[in-house]
Amino acid sequence: MTHLAEQRERAEASGVHHLTVLSNDEPARRARRSWTLALATLGVLAFALSFSQSWWKFTLYAPQYPHGLRLEIALTGLQGDVHEIDMLNHYIGMRHLVQAAPIERAYASYGVAGVCFAVLVGILLLGRRTGRLALLPALLFPIGFITDSFAWLYAFGHQLDPRAPLHVPPFTPQMFGNGQIGQFMTFAEPALGFWLSVVGVALVAAAVEYRQRAVCAHCAHAAKCKDVCPVHFLGNPGKLEKSA
């Protein structure tokens, strides 16, 4: 029986059926490590890149704005026809856009750095049972943005100054697709930053899954151990085998 077949059998016997059993030789291990780290790094890179991009964009069309008014939301601020949109919003008593999400914008850089850090630490150090938790900070990143943005849109549309010249019933500006406010046809959609974060999540998910499935089968302890061993994942299995 070859070493590999022996391992597979041991694994089957210990009920660890889902583990992909791969060759245990050094080049194969190096390749597995490299793929996992490369995917995770690319994912983190996508997150980092998204920091400097707009995450969401709104376009407003009206007869007197034939080319549309644009508003782009990035993690640290707003871009586009902010002045003009504020001017229009003042008619219905909406607050200035710059007053939205001040804390989020101030700490956005730490947030992104934190997410990147947490993802990498998770990939490197988590065990098999907790391995998928590495995806959590990544996943929370775009979801958190959407949730927070929606909350702010809701707040802005529901806290209108009662002394405004125009009285409109409270509303939540459309966050996806077409909407209509007065003479404005609005269109909202995710922008490059958001899509980068989604790509980042996908890459991190791939890294986590790959690591999760591929790491343990070659280990001499695989039969007994139900955890992915971080030391083993990064370290030299040869030494471990010897000690076994």
Partner 1 sequence: MQIARRALALGVLMSLVGVAGLSCENKAQKEFAKSQGSGNLGASASIKQLMAARHLTESDVEAALKTFVPPGKRDEYMIFASGGQSGQILVLGVPSMRLLKVIGVFTPEPWQGYGYGGGSDKILAAGAQGKKQIGWADVHHPNLSETNGDYDGQFLFVNDKANGRVAVVDLDDFATKQIVANPLVGSDHGGAFVDPNTNYVIETSQYPTPLGRDYAPLSSYKDKYRGVAVFWKFDREKKRIDPSQSFGVELPPYTQDLADAGKLMSDGWAFINSFNTELSTGGTLQGKPPIESGASQNDMDYMHIIDFRKAESLVKAGKAVTIKGMKVLPLAVSGAEGVLTLVGEPKSPHGCDVTPDGTAIVVGGKLDTHATVFEFSKIKKLIENKQYEGKDAYGVPILAFKDAIRGQVEIGLGPLHTVFDNTGNAYTSVFIESKVAKWSLKDMKLIEKLPVHYNIGHIMAAEGDTVSPDGKYVVAMNKMSIDRFTPVGPLYPQNFQLVDITGEKMRLLSDTPIGIGEPHYSQMIKIDKLHPRQTYAVGTDIYTGQRDPNAVDGGKERIVRNGTTVDVYMTAIRSHFVPDQIEVNEGDTVNIHITNLETAEDTTHGFTINMHNIDLSLEPGKHENVTFVADTPGVFPMYCTEFCSALHLEMAGYLLVKPKGA
Cβ partners under 8 Å of residue 205, min gap 6:
135, 138
Regarding 59 and contact with partner 1 (CB under 8 A), the answer is yes
Handedness of CA 225, 227, 231, 236 (dihedral sign): positive
* Min CB(110)–partner 1 separation in Å: 26
* Min CB(201)–partner 1 separation in Å: 8
Among 9, 12, 25, 83, binds partner 1 (CB under 8 A): 83
Regarding 195 and contact with partner 1 (CB under 8 A), the answer is yes
What is the C-alpha to C-alpha distance for residues 208 and 125, in angstroms, rounded to an integer? 12
235: Cα separation from own chain's centroid = 28
HSE-up (13 A, CA, CB side) for residue 146? 16
* Min CB(187)–partner 1 separation in Å: 4
* Min CB(65)–partner 1 separation in Å: 8
* Min CB(107)–partner 1 separation in Å: 26
What is the C-alpha to C-alpha distance for residues 107 and 241, in angstroms, rounded to an integer? 46
By CB under 8 A, what part of segment 33-52 binds partner 1?
A: 35, 39
Per DSSP (E only), the strands in the chain are 54-62, 65-74, 78-80, 177-181, 184-190
Q: What is the DSSP letter of 167?
A: -
Among 15, 17, 178, 244, binds partner 1 (CB under 8 A): 178
Inter-residue contact 203 to 40 (CB < 8 Å): yes
Nearest residue (CB) to partner 1, 67 versus 242: 67
Regarding 146 and contact with partner 1 (CB under 8 A), the answer is no
Span from 61-69, 104-112, 128-136, 144-152 in contact with partner 1 (CB under 8 A): 61-69
What is the C-alpha to C-alpha distance for residues 241 and 244, in angstroms, rounded to an integer? 5
Applying CB under 8 A, the residues found at the interface with partner 1 are 31, 35, 39, 57, 59, 61, 63, 66, 68, 81, 83-84, 87, 91, 165, 177-178, 185, 187, 189-190, 192, 195, 198-199, 202-203, 205-207, 209-210, 213-214
